[in-house]
Structure 1
């Protein structure tokens, strides 16, 4: 992924107003991010943990979306799998994230949801740079797994922007 600046990140959001994009909490450690290992930039808002953000390049264009993490957690401990990287987490390691659709349908309340790693570090789990527990055997080589994540990501972003 290309190294992103705060102004480029703010300008990329498609499912919120320009005013909301101006006020959202952008990570203050952008220069420290492992850009070469990222398929997308994802982060949680430290002042509002149910808010999350995702910025990715698809079809040569940068697209940012505002996400909301479900607050309801199931009482018992269970394993859950991320829809992007297929990493299995125990307990709250995966969250249902919903994104309002861009445009008029989003203003009417339409949204798209998917299950993602709660910390949005899918790229790092995929590459073995971060661990959620014992690794599950994966039959695909890393380049094919990266392609799978990028395809799934593009599909999700396409649903948000359609």
Structure 2
């Protein structure tokens, strides 16, 4: 992923509703390992259900405001993130909804999907020991993750 600046991030959101970005917390950009991520995702420490996803699409940063469901899936079962396709305990996957862009979102239309609760899919696809996660597999999973994030973003941006 190409690096993002604070200005890139603040100007990227396509589905922000009035008030969504008033106090947008920016993660520590100087600490990012940009080559090891397909998108920048983080949760708002002041508004726990709110999260943000920013990635590059057609050479421009595109950001989404997402909101997690108030409760998690039932403990004791497995779940899978629809972005990184990582199976994990259900308590680590949440239903997130994103307001659609434009008038549709202002009128309450949303799109939902199950995503890793911490929005750290890029990290999750890389954490297995190297003998279980060879570079070719990481590359394949990273490509799939990037495609699914772009597909989700495209659906949020559809006006019809």
Secondary structure of residue in 2 paired with 1:9:
helix
Q: TM-score, normalised by structure 2?
A: 0.87
Contact kept in structure 1, 2:84 and 2:145, CA below 8 Å = yes
Secondary structure of residue in 1 paired with 2:21:
helix
- Distance (whole Å) between structure 1 residues aligned to residue 34 and residue 18 of structure 2: 25
Q: Which residue of 1 aligns with 2:21?
A: 21
Which aligned pairs between 1:43-122 and structure 2 lie closer than 5 A?
43-122=42-121
- Distance (whole Å) between structure 2 residues aligned to residue 129 and residue 5 of structure 1: 30
Q: Which residue of 2 aligns with 1:3?
A: 3
Secondary structure of residue in 2 paired with 1:77:
coil
| 1:91-130: CA deviation from partner (whole Å, max 9, x where unpaired) | 4211111100000111111111111111111011112279
Contact kept in structure 2, 1:11 and 1:21, CA below 8 Å = no
Q: Which residue of 2 aligns with 1:159?
A: 155
Unaligned segments of structure 1, at least 5 residues? none
Q: TM-score, normalised by structure 1?
A: 0.86
Q: Which residue of 2 aligns with 1:145?
A: 141
Residues 74/148 of structure 1: CA separation in 2 closer, same or farther (3 Å cut)? closer
Residues 61/85 of structure 1: CA separation in 2 closer, same or farther (3 Å cut)? same
Unaligned segments of structure 2, at least 5 residues? none
Following superposition, the deviation at residue 58 of structure 1 comes to 1.4
Number of positions where the alignment pairs a residue of Structure 1 with one of Structure 2: 155
- The CA RMSD over aligned residues, in Å, is 2.2
Q: Could you tell which deviates more after superposition, 50-59 or 1-10?
A: 1-10
Residues 73/17 of structure 1: CA separation in 2 closer, same or farther (3 Å cut)? closer
- Distance (whole Å) between structure 2 residues aligned to residue 18 and residue 129 of structure 1: 40
